Amino acid sequence: MTDFIDRLQEANDRDTRVRAALRRSLAFDPGTYHAAFPHVERWLGQDASPWRRRVHYLVAGLWAVHWKEGRPGPALSLGEAMARYARQHHSYEQLDNGDSSTERRFITLLDADAEQLPHRLRQTVALLKDEHLDFGALLGDLLRWSAPHRPTQLKWAREFYRSLRPDAATDTPTTTQEETA
């Protein structure tokens, strides 16, 4: 999944118009803006499913609109980035009570169907403009969006709520006697 993002970055390094075309593609349904075709189609196989094609165009556009040279620190999953944003913009009381607009927005995103997903993701990525997002992971996660048992939504929810804990930034894994037995 990261190969696709690396290829977009390489193309952008050669010509920043690539990023401009991909940003503009977000104004259209994913996979319908003709100027984005050369930057995405060449990386999709001939037998790519409609969903795979749609997700690649969506992630390429989101990457382009979110791109910033030299973001510091490790890239975060969407769930981790949302939790980090929530911790920075809401009080612990709001977070403990489930009374933060970020949490409501996150839950709405998790509940999105395939048609709502592009719009909700554009809003979410705009909200996370200062976070270093892992677009390779995002691509992989979105490819599994409609899978039975909703593995992506569960993964993001776990990451979000675990990262919301006040001690999440300083957590180190500890082994209990129960785990070693």
Could you read off the pLDDT of 98-142 as tens digits, one per residue?
557 888 999 999 999 999 999 999 999 999 999 999 999 999 999
Give the residue, 73 or 35, on which the prediction is more confident: 35
Main-chain dihedrals φ then ψ at residue 148, nearest 5 degrees: -55, 145
pLDDT digit string, tens, across residues 77-89? 999 999 999 888 7
CB-CB contact of 84 with 76 (8 Å): yes
Main-chain dihedrals φ then ψ at residue 4, nearest 5 degrees: -60, -45
CB-CB contact of 141 with 76 (8 Å): no
CATH superfamily of the 71-167 domain: CRISPR-associated protein Cse2 (1.10.520.40)
Angstrom distances, CA of residue 37 to CA of 19, 51, 79, 147:
12, 16, 29, 26
Q: Please provide the average confidence, as pLDDT, over all residues in the chain.
A: 87
Contacts of 68 (CB under 8 A, 6+ apart): none
CATH number of 1-67: 1.10.520.40
In the chain, where are the structural domains located?
1-67, 71-167
